[in-house]
Amino acid sequence: MVVRLAVNVVRFIVTFFVATVAVFALMRAIPGDPAQISLGVNASPELLAQTRREFGTDRPLIAQYFDWVSGLPQGHFGVSFVTRRDISDMIADRVQVSLILVILSMIVALLIAVPFGTLAAVRHRRTSGILISGISQLGVAIPGFLAGIMLVVVFAVGLGWLPANGWTPPGQDFGDFASRIVLPVVALASVQGAILTRYVRSAVLEVMSEDYLRTARAKGLGKLEALVRHGLRNASIPVLTVTSIQLAALIIGAVVVERVFVIPGLGSMLLDAVGNRDMLSVQSVVMVLVAITLIINLIVDTLYTVLDPRIRKQA
Amino acid sequence: MESGSLVTTSMNPSSSINTEADAAADPLLQVTGLSVASRDRQLVQGFNLTMNRGERVGLIGESGSGKSMTSTALMGLLPEGVNAVGTVRLAGREGNLLTASDRQMCRIRGNDMTMVFQEPLTALNPLMKVGPQVAEVMVKHKNVTGRRAAKNKAVAMLASVRLPDPAQAAQAYPHQLSGGQRQRVMLAMALANDPELLLCDEPTTALDVTVQRQVLDLILESVRQRGTGLLFITHDLSVVANVCDRVLVMNKGVVVEEGSAAEVFTRPRHAYTRGLLAASDLDASDEDGRLFTVASAAAYVPPKIKEVLAPMPAATLRAPRSQVPESHGSPGGPATGVEPVISVKNLVRTYQRGRTSLFAKPLEVQALRGISFDVQAGQRFGVVGESGSGKSTLLRILAGLDQPTSGSVRVAGNEVAGARESALVDLRRQLQIVFQDPMGSLNPRMRVQEIIAEPLLAPGQKVDSARQRRLVAQMLAAVDLPADSAGRFPHQFSGGQRQRISIARALICEPRILVADEPVSALDVSVRAQVLNLLSDLVDQYQLTLVFVSHDLGVVRHICDNVVVMNQGEIVESGATEQIYEHPQHEYTRTLVGASMSLRSELAARAAQSKGRFHANL
């Protein structure tokens, strides 16, 4: 177990630094001079040269790379060429927003998916099971932003129960934070919940046909009792895999919903940075995403070893 | 159907079994008119059975006979969409179990009536320690109270099924135990509440020969000690002969014959039983020296009690194949000047396991620890071993699918060690394999024509499509499949037919060597004899060298001239087949031969045990 963890941490570090090279190289392969972009086409050569010196873009690429990379472990990303603001501060704010939104949504999605998916599997031949299946199919087909717009139309505009958009940090005014986050979380969670319901259903269906569940029934356990005691932990392994993939995808994938609800998330920042040709910001955000994805994988891998004794020790 | 009239014995249990004490007391299990059907198919029809306390009944049948459906129906665990009608009564429980609610059945299952399943690997929850799994069944039925008591009782149960170090075994997960150990755990679970009736569905089929014997003995001993009734479901007649007093033979959902084990196995009345007996008796052969099949069973003489009681004169029963003129004699002897077709010298293959510690060396598994042997052209060479013996690794290396760690392997003039893939083309043409699982080894998306013709597409072969079709047609005829099979898909064939397709595929490029990897172990008994006969004929007809890998000593004995016995990556004994079977020298070979079962030996063992009672029955 310790070995596995150590191997995973090493893999994490190596992957991260391979990613820095790839991201840096890709960003520099895009034509365009940051100083020129910053100053406009009519800038004088002297000013351009000075700005380049200021940005550090006049130095060799390898030096620029090491400048950037050496700052990463401490969270120093540098100053944006476009906004002239410290990227680290911006990212810190944005990451917080995105993580709160996405993690809350995934929790709600799982709270929907686990019971309904299980029910759909147990009753897969009955009307209720088929109904859940059908609704989840529909949920998968609805794009998140459409769900968001419909929620706004009904609950914010129509009924006026909740604010339509905006973001308040939870530390500042928790009540306002809570009222503003309900609709975006529901919008994201309904779609994710539908996707996960389908995976939970198929995982539970698979487990239900396993021999050990038959053994449990032969021991005198009731149908549901056998499923809960012997089935769900087994079924949780494939569901965990999908959840982790969805979670990583949602950090950026939430951008559309962020736009609908005017939430300053990481996805919005990336989109803006790309639009402004703010290369340093783009590559910094991408590296943060890589780190988050790798951390999720690390946690999930550790969870696997907790859940499944077979991969704890291969001896 | 004449079978219906034969099912009468169940009405009169005392005639079939007079060894158990009071048959007059109310029976333990009474099944009348049990029929099981899915929406579109009748699976079991008119099944009757009366079992007394402590009685041991065998339910014999091939795949699809409905034997497993019968047992699951008794447990009330039929899959969705499958329904049972009739009555099932269990002593001490009111009413018909088939109409009882699931809540009522839950109180009976695991307590009065328990079950051991076939596949010990999948029948235990992989994420739960073994001790708690055993404890659960006792806690569930409130036969122990308190966690500590349940834990202790579970350890005691594990000790009673003779698991080494039961306290530690209780802390193990299923994957940390061997197949035999897992099946012991299943048995501990099934016996934990001291049930009246134990159902065993092929409990030893997935186990190695030596382990099978131990587990069977354990089951037999346990039910005898506790006076538990045993319903033993299997396809293997010799297993039943050892364990059961009374047997029922099922075919296509109907019981075709019932009687005491001795009666049914020595004086079968129904044609199907006779066919099954004939096909599973590897010691007997017809006048051409071939195994009996269901079709030729009419000429089969079942073992006589006298014959069974006397030590078996093996030589007279064996096929007189040694008289068949063969160009290459001297089995087992040193090479007769001709270069051997397969020559293995000091073959070593080691694998590395994943690291378990940062600093220690990764574990090495020695699959083959320096083995050497020669196979002469035209020989029928058997490789016998249990799981983990290294026989599969050996086979993979012979076929050039794996590389040796060290040592040399020459197959038909090709050196395998260090050879590149391109250099193995000739080897592949000279050596072809028939695999164990005829379903898994044939691509389900390809037609039989394409499957069989595929070896002809190997580089260096130029065979036009007309000739391909002609060759495929020839091969289909050679393996006795209808010519129109070529246009069909593998799933449209039965297991035996699929194995014929595999054989046709292996032989189409006219190899010199045919390697058969457990070719009949996935097949039903009645089909096994046919495939073995076919294989035997083709080996003669095409003058092949046969390498036959199997765990089944009976099959190897029938088909091979020479044999090597493998254990833990080493050859422990080699020589002429009869020599090894009659006079095993090595300890392991002796254990293996001792543990392997044949119908005759089991009947003999049984008869010897209860000679007095037995003669009274005749």
Residue of A nearest to B125 (CA): A212
**Residue B16: its pLDDT value, please?**
41
Whole-number Å distance between alpha carbons of A147 and B248: 64
Whole-number Å distance between alpha carbons of B280 and B60: 12
A308–B127 C-beta distance less than 8 A: yes
**Residue B560: its pLDDT value, please?**
92
Whole-number Å distance between alpha carbons of B152 and B158: 10
Q: Where are the domains of chain B?
A: 1-112+195-325, 326-353+362-583
Q: Which residue from B130, B129, B132, B128 is spatially nearest to B140, judged by alpha carbons?
A: B132
**By the 8 A CB rule, do B531 and B279 touch?**
no
Those residues with Cβ within 8 angstroms of residue B250's Cβ, 6 or more apart along the chain or in another chain: B59, B60, B61, B65, B66, B67, B70, B256
Tell me which residue in A216, A220, A314 faces B354 most closely, judged by beta carbons: A314
Q: How far is A2 from chain B (nearest CA, A)?
A: 8
Tell me which residue in A3, A217, A230 faces B125 most closely, judged by beta carbons: A230
Considering only residues A41 and B113, tell me which one the structure prediction assigns the higher pLDDT. Answer: B113
State the best of A219, A227, A228, A240 to mutate against chain B, taking most chain B CBs within 10 Å: A219
Taking only residues 238 to 267 of chain B, the set having a beta carbon closer than 8 angstroms to any beta carbon of chain A reads none
Q: Does A228 touch chain B (CB under 8 A)?
A: no
A6–B111 C-beta distance less than 8 A: no
Scan for tokens 């158990």, then name that residue.
Answer: B20
Q: How far is A239 from chain B (nearest CA, A)?
A: 16
3 state SS of B383: strand
Over residues B105-125, mean pLDDT: 89
Whole-number Å distance between alpha carbons of B131 and B157: 9
User: What are B322-355's pLDDT values in tens digits?
Assistant: 433 344 434 444 445 578 889 999 999 988 776 6
Over residues B431-452, mean pLDDT: 88
Residue of A nearest to B76 (CA): A218
**Residue A313: its pLDDT value, please?**
56
Q: How far is B39 from chain A (nearest CA, A)?
A: 14
ipTM for the complex shown: 0.77
B137–A215 C-beta distance less than 8 A: no
B77–A223 C-beta distance less than 8 A: no
Q: H/E element holding B1?
A: none
Min mean pLDDT across B122-136, B321-335, B444-458 is at: B321-335
A309–B127 C-beta distance less than 8 A: yes
User: What are B365-416's pLDDT values in tens digits?
Assistant: 888 999 999 999 889 999 998 888 888 889 989 988 889 999 999 998 888 8
Classify domain B1-112+195-325 at the CATH topology level.
Rossmann fold (3.40.50)
Q: Is the pLDDT of residue A89 over 60?
A: yes
Q: Does A30 touch chain B (CB under 8 A)?
A: no
The string of DSSP letters for A12-44 reads HHHHHHHHHHHHHHHHHHS---HHHHHH-TT--
Considering only residues B115 and A73, tell me which one the structure prediction assigns the higher pLDDT. Answer: B115
**By the 8 A CB rule, do B85 and B98 touch?**
yes
A223–B109 C-beta distance less than 8 A: no
User: What are A156-193's pLDDT values in tens digits?
Assistant: 778 878 877 778 787 788 888 888 888 888 888 888 89
Whole-number Å distance between alpha carbons of B471 and B465: 10
Q: Is the pLDDT of residue A129 over 70?
A: yes
Whole-number Å distance between alpha carbons of A257 and A238: 27
Rg over CA atoms, chain A = 24
Q: How far is A128 from chain B (nearest CA, A)?
A: 17
DSSP letter, residue B459: T
Q: What angle do CA A80, A83, A88 make, to 5 degrees?
A: 45
Over residues B456-466, mean pLDDT: 78
Q: Is the pLDDT of residue A152 over 90?
A: no
Tell me which residue in B106, B124, B354 faces A221 most closely, judged by beta carbons: B106
Over residues B540-547, mean pLDDT: 91
**Residue A85: its pLDDT value, please?**
82
A215–B125 C-beta distance less than 8 A: yes
B141–A309 C-beta distance less than 8 A: no
- Residues in B closer than 8 angstroms to A2, CB to CB, are 358
Please give the structure tokens belonging to residue B139: 């806690």
Q: What number of C-beta contacts closer than 8 Å exist between A and B?
A: 85
Same fold across B1-112+195-325 and B326-353+362-583: yes
Q: Does A85 touch chain B (CB under 8 A)?
A: no
Q: What is the 3-state secondary structure (H, E, C) of A267-297?
A: HHHHHHHHHCCCHHHHHHHHHHHHHHHHHHH
Whole-number Å distance between alpha carbons of B269 and B302: 11
Q: Is the pLDDT of residue B449 over 60?
A: yes
Whole-number Å distance between alpha carbons of A40 and A48: 10
Q: Does B175 touch chain A (CB under 8 A)?
A: yes
- Residues in A closer than 8 angstroms to B115, CB to CB, are 218
Q: Does B397 touch chain A (CB under 8 A)?
A: no
Q: How far is B583 from chain A (nearest CA, A)?
A: 38
Q: Is the pLDDT of residue B103 over 50?
A: yes
Q: Does B406 touch chain A (CB under 8 A)?
A: no
Q: Does B137 touch chain A (CB under 8 A)?
A: yes
**Residue B611: its pLDDT value, please?**
59
User: What are A2-25's pLDDT values in tens digits?
Assistant: 777 788 888 888 998 899 999 888
Whole-number Å distance between alpha carbons of B351 and B117: 33
Over residues A188-212, mean pLDDT: 91
pLDDT band at residue B504 under the 50/70/90 scheme: very high
Min mean pLDDT across A242-251, B184-193, B282-291, B482-491 is at: B282-291
Cα B6 off chain centre by:
28
pLDDT band at residue B5 under the 50/70/90 scheme: very low
Those residues with Cβ within 8 angstroms of residue A276's Cβ, 6 or more apart along the chain or in another chain: A82, A83
- Residues in B closer than 8 angstroms to A220, CB to CB, are 106-111, 137, 140-141
Q: Does B188 touch chain A (CB under 8 A)?
A: no
Tell me which residue in B114, B353, B357 faces A3 most closely, judged by beta carbons: B357
Residue of B nearest to A308 (CA): B127
What domains can be seen in chain A, in order of their start residue? 15-74 (no CATH), 92-311 (1.10.3720.10)
Cα A232 off chain centre by:
25
Residues belonging to chain A: 315
**Residue B321: its pLDDT value, please?**
45
Over residues B25-31, mean pLDDT: 85
Residue of A nearest to B190 (CA): A219
Q: Does A220 touch chain B (CB under 8 A)?
A: yes
Backbone angles phi, psi at B189, to 5 degrees: -65, -45
The string of DSSP letters for A151-216 reads HIIIIIIIS--S-SS----TTT-HHHHHHHHHHHHHHHHHHHHHHHHHHHHHHHHHHHTSHHHHHH
Q: How far is A302 from chain B (nearest CA, A)?
A: 16
Residue of B nearest to A212 (CA): B123
The string of DSSP letters for B484-537 reads GGGGS-GGGS-HHHHHHHHHHHHHTT--SEEEEESTTTTS-HHHHHHHHHHHHH
Q: Is the pLDDT of residue A239 over 70?
A: yes
Using a 10 angstrom Cβ sphere, with 0-12 exposed, 13-18 middle and 19 or more buried, the burial of residue B340 is: middle
**Residue B324: its pLDDT value, please?**
39
In chain B, the percentage of residues whose pLDDT exceeds 70 is: 86
Asked if CATH classification 3.40.50.300 holds for the domain at B326-353+362-583, the reply, yes or no, is: yes
Please give the structure tokens belonging to residue B448: 């039989």
For CA atoms B441, B443, B448, B451, give the dihedral sign. negative
B111–A220 C-beta distance less than 8 A: yes
**By the 8 A CB rule, do B381 and B344 touch?**
no
DSSP letter, residue B598: -
